């Protein structure tokens, strides 16, 4: 009886394992072509030998937290007169400035960028005996501005969005990230990459390659990936609705919203990753160091000199060929 219970329990566990999905997989697996979003990528070949040429490569990355940020909000204001439009715009901008000062943003860190101040026209119909015409007539004025807000704590952005929304400003254009000591990041990556490359040279030297006698040439390349470039579209698996079954309605207006997520550069292509564990989207600095070693040719003593196998032939105007010896 105990054996039957054990077999039943094992069978149930096997069935659950067959139908279950890994908890760490996430809904992204349901997206088509989702392989490009995998956290790890296939390791590329970092050392190649072609003839007597040895090519070594080191790829390094550093995740750096930004020192400051710049949020840009767009606002549009309409008015029947130029004075009314300008007054309403100033009231909204000044309201945002007062609210952001309450969350620690200085007045000097807010800048208003004027984009346009133009009249708005509407069509007026004029009826005649046998026809009617349409003519543009002034209807009001439109002002467009951008509000630039600098801040140093990434968590303040939520409060800035709330402050702007209370002044009926909902359009967050983008957020820029700034790192003060960018050159120091590259210097650090260069130091770690050079150290690792020297270790690779030592390993090949232990394998018998004449690394110390080789002629070497090197090249380096760096780059940076900002969070604005790494957000990817994603269709959520949750469903949302605002009007279904409200006041007796039975209209099915459920939708699956399209959203975004931060998709960092995969770590699989890098030998070195500094500050790999992240929560806030960082600025990702990359550095590539390539070294080409021209190794001395094997069995060089047994090879004939080039001048011994080269023959000089004299061909006269009659087409006769004669081998001649040059000093």
Measured over the CA atoms of residue 270, residue 275, residue 279 and residue 283, the dihedral's sign is: negative
User: In which band, very low, low, confident or very high, does the pLDDT at 280 lie, cut at 50, 70 and 90?
Assistant: very high
As a whole number of angstroms, the distance between CA 282 and CA 280 comes to 6
Give the residue carrying structure tokens 């050079």: 194
* Angle 74-80-81 from CA coordinates, rounded to 5°: 90
With 60 as the cut, is the pLDDT of residue 181 above it? Answer: yes
For residues 243 and 234, is the Cβ–Cβ distance under 8 A?
no
- Topology adopted by domain 68-178: Alpha-Beta Plaits (3.30.70)
Please list, in sequence order, all residues whose beta carbon lies within 8 angstroms of the beta carbon of residue 279, skipping any fewer than 6 positions away. Answer: none
How do residues 235-261 score in pLDDT, each as one tens digit? Answer: 776 666 555 555 555 555 566 677 888
The domain ranges of the chain are 27-65+181-294, 68-178
- Return mean pLDDT, the chain: 81
Judge contact between 79 and 141, C-beta under 8 A.
yes
Global pTM exceeds 0.75: no
Q: Which residues pair with 145 in a beta bridge?
A: 75, 114
Asked whether the beta carbons of 252 and 244 are under 8 A apart, the reply is yes
Average pLDDT for residues 286-301, to the nearest whole number? 83
Q: Residues 187-199: pLDDT tens digits?
A: 999 999 999 999 9
Residue 154 is predicted with a pLDDT of: 93
53-64 and 272-274 as β-strands: parallel, antiparallel, unpaired? parallel
User: What does the pLDDT look like over 232-242, one tens digit per residue?
Assistant: 888 776 666 55
> Across-strand partners of 255?
240
Structure tokens at 43: 């390791």
Q: For residue 10, what are the β-bridge partners?
A: none
Q: What does the pLDDT read at residue 19?
A: 45
């Amino acid at each position: 009886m105990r054996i039957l219970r054990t077999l039943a329990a094992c069978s149930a566990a096997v069935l659950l394992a067959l139908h279950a999905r890994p908890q760490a997989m996430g809904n992204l697996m349901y997206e088509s072509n989702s392989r490009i979003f995998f956290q790890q990528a296939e390791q590329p070949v970092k050392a190649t030998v072609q003839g007597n040429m040895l090519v070594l490569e080191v790829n390094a990355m550093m995740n750096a937290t930004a020192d400051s940020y710049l949020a840009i909000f767009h606002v549009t204001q309409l008015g029947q007169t130029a004075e009314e439009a300008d007054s309403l715009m100033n009231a909204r901008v000044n309201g945002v400035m007062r609210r952001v000062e309450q969350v620690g943003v200085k007045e000097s860190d807010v800048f208003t960028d004027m984009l346009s101040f133009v009249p708005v026209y509407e069509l007026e119909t004029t009826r005649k005996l046998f026809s009617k015409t349409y003519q543009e007539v002034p209807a009001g004025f439109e002002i467009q501005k951008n509000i630039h807000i600098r801040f140093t704590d990434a968590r303040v952005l939520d409060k800035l969005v709330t402050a702007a929304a209370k002044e009926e400003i909902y359009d967050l254009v983008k957020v820029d990230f700034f790192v003060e000591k960018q050159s120091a990041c590259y210097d650090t990556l260069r130091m770690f990459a050079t150290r690792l490359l020297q270790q690779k040279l030592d390993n090949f030297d232990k394998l018998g390659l004449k690394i110390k006698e080789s002629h070497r040439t090197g090249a380096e390349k760096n780059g940076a990936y900002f969070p604005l470039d790494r957000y990817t579209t994603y269709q959520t698996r949750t469903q949302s609705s605002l009007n279904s079954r409200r006041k007796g309605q039975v209209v099915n207006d459920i939708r699956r919203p399209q959203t975004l997520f931060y998709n960092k550069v995969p770590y699989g292509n890098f030998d070195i990753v500094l500050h790999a564990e992240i929560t806030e989207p960082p600025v990702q600095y990359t550095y590539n160091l390539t070294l080409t070693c021209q190794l001395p040719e094997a069995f060089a003593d047994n090879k004939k000199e080039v001048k011994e196998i080269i023959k000089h032939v004299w061909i006269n105007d009659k087409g006769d060929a004669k081998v001649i010896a040059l000093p």
